[in-house]
């Protein structure tokens, strides 16, 4: 870690303002994984489809008109980023947003995006 990163806020506040302290690198890296999960058009569409609903893979395939393997690949990335959770019922796998934080993150992302359009 560079000495620049380890300096405290008091040492860096030379311009008259306060500098926030940095979260741990572990937390920052986990946040990067989460944000990368959002950074794809297909994954963002999937998240919008399952927002407030529990949706099976077959329905996602039908709505997005892409292959099941393509949807499964994107869902794996979303699971790895802890953006979605799943449950199996018989031969079907149902997906939903992982928790209310993800719901809020998606809402804020879409709201912010609409302000720049």
Query: pTM of the prediction?
Result: 0.81
Secondary structure (3-state) at 48: helix
| DSSP symbol at 37 | H
Can you give the pLDDT at residue 110? 94
- Over 50: is that where the pLDDT of 113 sits? yes
Structural domains of the chain in order of their starting residue, each with its CATH number: 3-116 (1.10.10.10)
Tell me the backbone φ, ψ of residue 20, rounded to 5 degrees. Answer: -70, 150
- Angle among Cα 56, 104, 59 to the nearest 5 degrees reads 15
Q: What is the mean pLDDT of residues 60-76?
A: 97
- Over 50: is that where the pLDDT of 2 sits? no
Can you give the pLDDT at residue 98? 97
Can you give the pLDDT at residue 5? 53
Residue 96 burial by CB count (10 A; 0-12/13-18/19+): exposed, middle or buried? middle
């Amino acid at each position: 870690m560079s000495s620049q990163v380890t300096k405290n806020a008091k040492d860096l506040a030379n311009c008259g303002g306060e500098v926030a302290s940095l979260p741990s690198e572990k937390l920052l890296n986990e946040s990067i994984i989460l944000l990368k999960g959002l950074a794809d058009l297909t994954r963002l569409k999937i998240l919008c489809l399952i927002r407030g609903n529990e949706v099976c893979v077959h329905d996602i395939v039908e709505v997005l008109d892409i292959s099941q393997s393509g949807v499964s690949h994107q869902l794996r990335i979303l699971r790895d980023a802890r953006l979605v959770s799943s449950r199996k019922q018989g031969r079907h796998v149902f997906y939903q947003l992982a928790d209310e934080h993800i719901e809020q993150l998606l809402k804020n992302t879409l709201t912010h995006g609409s302000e720049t359009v």
